[in-house]
Amino acid sequence: LAPSANSLKRLLLSYNYIYELYNKNNIEFSQLDELDLSHNKLPWLSQDIMAARRAKNVDLSANQIVLIDKNIRFDAQTKINLSGNKVQCQSLDDFATLNPSVKNVNPAYNKDPPGCTRKSGYSICCDSLSAPFADRLIEQKRMQNSLLSGPTGPGAKPNCTVDGARQTMISNMSNAVTRVANEVQRLQKEKIQLTADRLSLEQTVNYQREQSSSVREALLAAARNLNLAVEREPSPGVLQKVIDQYEHLSKQEELERNKATEDWNKYSTEIQHWIKEKERLEPLIAKYDADISKANATLVALTRQKGVLAEQLRIKEMNG
């Protein structure tokens, strides 16, 4: 883990039968947020745990911790869970002097059995073992060492047997992995669909932009035909001005059309009047034409008689 000392965020080591911690290289996880060592077989805490002293959460619950090195000190903001252990009360007091957050554990994560002994001011239990209690630690150490050296007695085999809690956790983890795999597959399908939708949407947006550009050009052309100065106005404003101008022109055309219709009706009435007047005058004109023709004939006859009389008068004057 040394290469990850400056980048590791979470270190989850629960249910691993860990019975002792070593930090030979004195590394420190400077970026660690969470250390989970719950449900292991730790009988005591040494200063090696300070590799995670800057972690925000340290879960040491459900181990077999009896003794804690009094010199261990975590950062002030570190939350420590020691519930579900049998820490000797004096050792817990010494540890709490430098790490007061150990006194209060969120009830949701408290793994102490009901009815256990709690000291005043503590939300976790402790064991009022009378000193010395080294025999108990030695026995636990011996039993845990048997995990590496093989069975050494009647009590060794049960410690190697996977307990129900671990089996349940493994089953839950398997189910969780399956759920996560299914969720990943579903998300991948959704990603593919979303990618296709995004491409389709981009095509639609590009098409709409082209259409919008074409519409604006058409609007500007219409505005120029109407002598409207709207080059810098947004399309909605141009459209409204074009509509207003067309409505104005339409009203003017309607007024002119109404006036033309009115004039046409007036002229039509007059034409009908003159047609009737013509029909009335045509017989009179025909009569007048006949009278004029008759008068012309009479005039011709009189002219001839005048000529004859003039000739007779001239002859008479000559004969004297």
- The pLDDT tens digits for 60-100 are 999 989 889 989 999 999 999 999 998 889 899 999 999 99
Q: State the average pLDDT over residues 248-273.
A: 87
Q: What is the pLDDT of residue 34?
A: 96
- So where are the chain's domains? 2-148, 196-234
Kindly report the average pLDDT of the chain as a whole number: 82
Does residue 284 surpass a pLDDT of 80?
A: yes
pLDDT over 90 (residue 123)? yes
Which of 262 and 216 is assigned the larger pLDDT?
A: 262
Whole-number pLDDT of residue 133: 53
> Mean of the pLDDT values across residues 132-149?
51
Which pLDDT does position 161 carry in this prediction? 47
The tens digit of pLDDT for each residue in 146-188 reads: 544 444 444 444 444 445 666 676 677 667 767 766 776 788 7
Residue range 14-54, pLDDT digits in tens: 999 898 898 988 899 999 999 999 999 998 899 999 999 99
Domain 2-148 has CATH 2.70.98.30: no
| pLDDT of 238 strictly over 80 | no
Q: What is the pLDDT of residue 231?
A: 66
Three-state SS annotation for the chain: CHHHCCCCCEEECCCCCCCCCCCCCCCCCCCCCEEECCCCCCCEECHHHHHHCCCCEEECCCCCCCEECCCCCCCCCCEEECCCCCCEHHHHHHHHHHCHHHHCCCHHHCCCCCCCCECCCCCCECECCCCCCHHHHHHHHHHHHHHHHCCCCCCHHHHHCCCHHHHHHHHHHHHHHHHHHHHHHHHHHHHHHHHHHHHHHHHHHHHHHHHHHHHHHHHHHHHHHCCCCCCCCCHHHHHHHHHHHHHHHHHHHHHHHHHHHHHHHHHHHHHHHHHHHHHHHHHHHHHHHHHHHHHHHHHHHHHHHHHHHHHHHHHHHHHC
| pLDDT value at 107 more than 80 | yes
250 or 176, greater pLDDT: 250
* Per-residue pLDDT, 215: 80
Share of the chain above pLDDT 70, in %: 83
